[in-house]
Amino acid sequence: MPRYKLTIEYDGTGFAGWQTQAGLPTVQGVLADAVEKLAGERVHVAGAGRTDAGVHATGQVAHVDLTRDWRTDTVRDGLTAHLRPHPVAVLSAERVDAEFEARFSAVRRHYLYRIVNRRPDLALERDRAWRVPQPLDAAAMHVAAQRLLGKHDFSTFRAAECQAASPVKTLDQLDVTRCGPEIRVVTSARSYLHHQVRSMVGSLLRVGEGRWSADDLAAALAACDRTRCGPMAPAAGLYLTQVDYPDPFGADSAS
């Protein structure tokens, strides 16, 4: 049975997240509907990351098993056509070995968080970024962010409903840069706790406001206490941008 790796882009605003939920619109659900319309069979669409309601993706990865051996461009174009009018597009479809798993084969996931640091409301970027009206020091946020790199117990930045077996994760990258009014937080790790990225961004906001120092952020991490976390950043600014896989599934290349 042929297995296809799909790279997917979506606007998460109108969805209740990635994972199928009864009676609610989800990305996984509309993808399964599209596969059924194209291939005439109901299959499970397995994703690399279970993004929350309102979270977007420019490089989500999923895999599906189809009975028929379809051309990859037909899978890509056919699924995208059947996804309309939902704001979901299949950017690419590739044939992969049966051992490939979109979630469990992944070695790194990359996220972007967008803050628009200005007083006026957002017109074109509404639901696609977090507007923060007060001035933020992005350089101070970046310096503080480096204190979170490495292997730590991230309980402070973990949602109460998180189902991960352990709060210990290894954070490989957490960079904060400014380009005009936009502040971009870029992070990468093998895996994350539920709400970890949004919780880290909200805590970094306190540094940008001058309310916390880098030492305060490090102390919050060391406390392993959810009550020490800053405000959680809203879902609208978060994007799953890339998922990496090792050989034989892509030679450590991006999806």
Instruction: Return the active site residues.
Output: 52
pLDDT for 177: 98
CA-atom Rg of the chain in angstroms: 19
Domains of the chain: 3-105 (3.30.70.580), 108-241 (3.30.70.660)
Q: From the first residue on, what is the mean pLDDT of each consecutive set of 10 residues in the chain (255 residues)?
A: 96 95 94 96 94 97 96 96 97 96 97 98 96 98 98 96 92 98 98 97 98 98 96 97 82 39
Helix (H) or strand (E) holding 124: none
Token pair belonging to 154: 């991230």
What's at 49, amino acid-wise? G
| Residue 210 CB coordination number (10 Å) | 12
In 3D, which of 78, 106, 75, 98 has the Cα closest to residue 6?
75
C-beta separation of 254 from 243 below 8 A: yes
Tell me: the pLDDT tens digits for 156-192? 999 988 888 999 999 999 999 999 999 999 999 999 9
C-beta separation of 93 from 177 below 8 A: no
Torsion angle, CA of 210/215/216/219, rounded to 10 degrees?
170
Name residue 110's beta-bridge partners: 188, 242
Helix (H) or strand (E) holding 31: helix 27-39
pLDDT for 26: 97
Is the C-alpha dihedral spanning 155, 206, 148, 163 positive or negative?
A: positive
